[in-house]
Structure 1
Amino acid sequence: MTSNLDPAIAARLKRSPDGLVPAIAQQYDTGEVLMLGWMDDEALHRTLTTGRCTYWSRSRQEYWVKGDTSGHVQHVKSVALDCDADTLLVRVDQVGAACHTGARTCFDADVLPLGE
């Protein structure tokens, strides 16, 4: 698929074999980790240019904009690449729940026990 992503940014990305980069959504003011989604070049371009998180659905094989169905919008505050350029950190202002289960975050329901 052709993307409108800035070629300088595209050249830096290290993608998985299916062309995706994991994108961690974090609440910009509290640091709360909200969810993990996947972006290809076009999803990243849309996220950078619209100010709303666009992800690639691996199960449905289509783009989706967080909040278009649920109303739980992610307003983008910043996007950063990690040091290896293989993961994105998207700092957002989350409206409502981030998780599809209705929870604020995807990471609070199944905390694993630590060994002694």
Structure 2
Amino acid sequence: MSTLDPTTAAKLKRTPEGLVCAVAQQHDTREVLMVAWMNDEALHLTLTTGRATYWSRSRNELWAKGDTSGHTQKIIDVRLDCDGDTILLLVDQTGAACHTGTRTCFDATSLLHPTDA
């Protein structure tokens, strides 16, 4: 098991399951690609390997983005929000980020609908 730097670990506010929300964003266009979860080991691997690694809540295991799909996320920068409960991954996305095969998980119809004036 990998060990996260204690200084970094102390800054994180985790869920009761030990997870922190992670938002992946394309580094140059700022397009929001996806949201996933990280535990300490996933964050450590992300920081040390340069590849986005997440925790699958459904499979209860680590997964590196692209291991099965080939759609990888090369890490450009990693930032922690002011509350310590969300990690922002600035990545260089290769291929689709969404499990549905689309570039981003956020390309669905907007929830805001214009009202008739």
Is TM-score (shorter-chain normalized) higher than 0.5? yes
Gaps spanning 5+ residues in structure 2: where? none
CA deviation vs aligned residue, 1:19-51 (integer Å, no higher than 9, x gap):
000000000000000000100000000000000
Partners of 2:81 and 2:101 lie apart in 1 by 29
| Equivalent residue, structure 2, for 1:76 | 75
Counterpart residue number, 1:64? 63
Checking the alignment, whether the CA contact within 8 Å between 2:2 and 2:45 is kept in structure 1 is: no
Figure out how many residues of one structure are paired with residues of the other and give that number: 115
- Partner Cα separation in structure 2 for residue 18 and residue 48 of structure 1: 21
**TM-score, structure 2 normalization:** 0.94
Match of 1:107 in 2: 106
Distance (whole Å) between structure 2 residues aligned to residue 25 and residue 79 of structure 1: 9
Q: Distance in 1 between matches of 2:109 and 2:50?
A: 31
- Counterpart in 2 of 1:87? 86
Q: Which entry has the higher C-alpha Rg, 1 or 2?
A: 2
- Equivalent in the alignment of 2:20: 21
Unaligned runs of 5+ in 1: none
Task: Give the structure 2 partner of residue 32 of structure 1.
Answer: 31
Instruction: Give how far 1:115 is off.
Output: 5.8
TM-score, normalised relative to structure 1 = 0.95
1:111 CA displacement: 2.2
Runs of 4+ in structure 1 off by over 4 angstroms are none
Contact 2:37–2:54, Cα closer than 8 Å, also in 1: yes
In the alignment, what sits opposite 1:41? 40
State how far apart, in whole Å, the 1-side matches of 2:59 and 2:97 are.
19
CA shift for structure 1 position 112: 1.4
RMSD: 1.1
Question: Do the aligned partners of 2:73 and 2:93 also contact (CA within 8 Å) in 1?
Answer: yes
- Once the two structures are TM-superposed, the CA of residue 109 in structure 1 deviates from its matched residue by 1.9
